[in-house]
Amino acid sequence: MSKKEKPKGINFPHVYIMFLLVMLLVVALSWIVPSGQYERVVDPDTGITKLNTEVFNYVDTEKPIGFMDFFTALHKGVVQSGDIIVMLLFASGALYILEKSGAIAAGIHKLLRIAGGKEKLIIFALLTLFAILGTIGFGEGGIPFIPLAMAVVMGMGYDRITAFATSTIGLAIGFTAGVVNFYTTGVSQSIVGLPIYSGLGFRIISLIVFLAISVIYILRYANKTKADPSKSIVFNEYKEQLENTKTAEYEEEAFTWSRKLALLGLVAVLVGSAFGAIKLGWGMPELSAVYAIYAVFLVIILRLNPSEAAETFGTGAARLLPTGLAIGFARSVMILMDQAQIIDTAVHSLSGLLSNTGSIVTLLVLFVVVIFFNFFVVSGSGKAMILMPIMGPLGKILGINQQVMVVVYQFGDGFTNYLWPTSGGLMAALGMSNVNYADWVKFSLKLFLLLHFAAFILIIIAHYIGLGPA
């Protein structure tokens, strides 16, 4: 094909504009929704203030939210989210040093050589590798590696859709399972007061379930189209690809001992962060320190120029600054809702609506709400700042574990990041990979429906086994 179509999607306002519009909505609601408040009780053992969901009262407040209140909420939101934002900046800076060093690309090549040319095994290996990247929070961060994986898969004779799915679906299922994904699991658990990365075993099982479904679905399509190219969603291009017998062209990255140690160091960071958060009570400062230590480790083990590495660290951190501001702006919404005192009213009203529906229906409604909300606010961490302060207390009122509420949130958030046209990361990946959005939806819609069905079954299981800690 001499000319490729660019993926098209619905043009929505920037995420910052979306948050400003939501803030305006809060101002409007402050005139409509009556102010209310649950009784607050300080836990004598932990010193943490908790809601007494048995006592709710409507209260009188001064209205309206002032002009300066509206705009100062932006500053307050960023400041109050400072711990989370700084941790994400440190993590992004350190991981960017690893990315620029070529260690991840070299690891991919090594994995392919071990596969020994076995095509199905290579697809499974790449899907698994990208799932691992996704589960540690490589959402948009995994996009730079997609063209490399695509070159390998297409070089084995598969079509562009198979190549794109192998990497992108891996990121999707990994990010959704969120085994050690701070952007969704970590942020959500910190908001509701759970140990960060608790419930690890359940999330690993979920990842395996999602991986099994995805492998079967992708290989079924890959085998079908390779046997009969006319069944390919991108048949015209695929036919040309096969006729030209193009092979994958990519620059080999040497898997040196230093790069091996760099990747082992990343594993140590992930394991250490999970252990520290769960067993040692680490918070954002300690987790930030771990990534700072890892950055220093990379400089030493890879023999990098310290000044150049520092510049790379800053560039990597800068990539996450827009996400950091989105988290702060999301917090601004909560600040205005706090000022209007309508959060507790919303929780009280939702609990009344859902109190007699049964736990399964309640979980389904909340699951669908998160999926729908993700169409407008794609940022996982930013959305958590809005939804979890509502879902957490709601779970307590309805007798649903806080851990289960976190699972509902992360499963509702993750998959549609790779389906909704409002996802900047997806549209960027499609553009970089020369894949049409309509073709992607045609391929992936059934798969995402299957994954959402499996996710909801897992949510029900988590509820009935009392997944803890509560």
What's the sign of the alpha-carbon dihedral 273, 276, 282, 285?
Answer: negative
Distance CA 415, CA 412 (A): 7
Query: Has residue 116 got a pLDDT over 80?
Result: no
Domain ranges within the chain, ordered by starting residue: 15-464
Q: 118: how many CB neighbours lie within 10 A of its CB? A: 13
Tokens of 261: 């140690």
Residues 398/404/408/414 CA torsion (nearest 10 deg): 160
Distance CA 416, CA 175 (A): 11
Q: Residue 461 — pLDDT band, cuts 50, 70, 90?
A: very high
Query: What's at 72, amino acid-wise?
Result: T
Q: Quote the pLDDT of residue 75.
A: 93
Name, in order, each residue with C-beta under 8 angstroms of 77's C-beta and a sequence gap of 6 or more. Answer: 328, 329, 330, 331, 332, 333, 334, 335
The pLDDT tens digits for 403-441 are: 999 999 999 988 888 888 767 677 767 776 778 888 888
Query: Has residue 3 got a pLDDT over 60?
Result: no
Place of tokens 């092979």: 247
For 320, phi then psi, to 5°, come to -95, -5
Distance CA 445, CA 416 (A): 10
Distance CA 177, CA 184 (A): 10
For 55, phi then psi, to 5°, come to -120, 115
The answer to which of 112-116, 173-177, 215-219 has the lowest mean pLDDT is: 112-116
DSSP bridge pairs for 37: 57
Which is higher by pLDDT, 134 or 323?
Answer: 134
Tokens of 219: 């290989």
pTM (two decimals): 0.68
Q: Quote the pLDDT of residue 252.
A: 61
The answer to which of 251-265, 304-318, 332-346, 348-362 has the lowest mean pLDDT is: 348-362
Which is higher by pLDDT, 98 or 88?
Answer: 98
Average pLDDT over residues 93-99: 86
Q: Quote the pLDDT of residue 134.
A: 83
Q: 96: how many CB neighbours lie within 10 A of its CB? A: 21
Q: Give me the percent of the chain exceeding a pLDDT of 70.
A: 83
Across the chain, mean pLDDT equals: 80
The pLDDT tens digits for 345-393 are: 877 777 777 767 777 888 898 899 888 877 766 667 767 776 787 788 7
First to last CA, the chain: 55
Q: 114: how many CB neighbours lie within 10 A of its CB? A: 11
Exposure letters 45-84 (e unless 16+ CB within 10 A, then b): eeeeeebebeebeeeebeeebeeeebeebbeebbebbeeb
Q: Give me the percent of the chain exceeding a pLDDT of 90.
A: 18
Query: What's at 69, amino acid-wise?
Result: D
Tokens of 86: 């700084």
The CA–CA distances, whole Å, from 180 to 132, 162, 169, 196, 380 equal: 10, 27, 18, 9, 14
**Which of 392, 373, 364, 388 is closest to 452 using CA atoms?**
364
Name, in order, each residue with C-beta under 8 angstroms of 247's C-beta and a sequence gap of 6 or more. Answer: 155
Per-position DSSP letters for 219-267, written without gaps between them: HHHHHHHHH-GGGSTTHHHHHHHHHHT-----------HHHHHHHHHHH
Q: Residue 153 — pLDDT band, cuts 50, 70, 90?
A: confident
Q: Residue 256 — pLDDT band, cuts 50, 70, 90?
A: confident
